[in-house]
């Protein structure tokens, strides 16, 4: 019984894809990850994100160093520090630890916002190019391989290289 249900489900799925293909006609694909990694503008976006991440990491590392120094001071001088000095060092340590936590949270949020904004800009710039390529090649439907889950794609329907070429050409033209 389970095999029969599985077989009927498989037939329905295959039939659904066949019906979809019959209705849509030609299908094309792009690989947005390749566009991001191989286009000039995509490389700039990635470099900008990496640079901002380095800046955040440097700031966090500096706070980590300050925290370690305060911990070392507190541990090594605990017996010689006055009660007031020990309390102050402990308060300083807690403040630095809180500052570090907030900085890490702000860095994460900043990176998320920057990444989303830059990727959206690239995506918005690519959509008209994808649409034009689709019309030129007579595609009725274009999938992004990064989001489709496709296991195999014929190179004949892959427009990624042409998309990168056109995107680079458009971005190379100076803005007015």
Q: What is the pLDDT of residues 35-80, one digit of tens each?
A: 999 999 999 999 999 999 999 999 999 999 999 999 998 888 888 8
What pLDDT does residue 4 have? 44
**Residues 122, 36 contacting (CB under 8 angstroms):** yes
Q: Which two tokens stand for residue 93?
A: 């340590």
Give the closest residue to 28 by CA, choosing from 127, 160, 149. Answer: 160
pTM, to two decimals: 0.73
User: Residue 60: enclosing H or E segment and its boundaries?
Assistant: helix 40-77
Q: What is the pLDDT of residues 97-151, one digit of tens each?
A: 999 999 999 999 999 999 999 999 999 999 999 999 999 999 999 999 888 778 8
- Distance separating alpha carbons of residues 25 and 28, to the nearest angstrom: 10
Q: Which two tokens stand for residue 32?
A: 């947005």
What pLDDT does residue 10 have? 53
pLDDT at 90 over 80: yes
pLDDT at 16 over 80: no
- Distance separating alpha carbons of residues 52 and 45, to the nearest angstrom: 11
**Residues 167, 39 contacting (CB under 8 angstroms):** yes
- Distance separating alpha carbons of residues 21 and 107, to the nearest angstrom: 45
Which residues are registered as beta bridge partners of 141?
27
pLDDT at 14 over 60: no
Please tell me which residue, 19 or 76, carries the higher pLDDT value: 76
What share of the chain in percent tops pLDDT 90?
65
- The mean of the pLDDT values for the chain is 86
């Amino acid at each position: 019984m389970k095999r029969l249900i599985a077989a009927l489900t498989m037939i329905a799925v295959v039939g659904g894809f066949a019906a979809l293909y019959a209705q849509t006609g030609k299908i094309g694909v792009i690989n947005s990850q390749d566009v991001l990694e191989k286009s000039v503008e995509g490389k700039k976006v990635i470099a900008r994100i990496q640079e901002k991440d380095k800046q955040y990491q440097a700031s966090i590392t500096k706070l980590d160093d300050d925290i370690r120094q305060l911990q070392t001071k507190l541990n090594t001088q605990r017996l010689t520090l006055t009660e007031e000095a020990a309390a102050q060092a402990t308060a300083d340590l807690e403040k630095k630890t809180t500052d570090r936590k907030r900085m890490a949270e702000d860095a994460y949020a900043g990176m998320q916002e920057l990444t989303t904004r830059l990727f959206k800009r690239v995506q918005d710039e690519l959509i008209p190019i994808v649409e034009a390529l689709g019309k030129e090649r007579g595609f009725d439907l274009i999938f992004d391989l990064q989001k489709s889950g496709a296991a195999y794609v014929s190179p004949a329907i892959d427009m990624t290289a042409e998309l990168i070429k056109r995107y680079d050409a458009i971005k190379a033209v100076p803005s007015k």
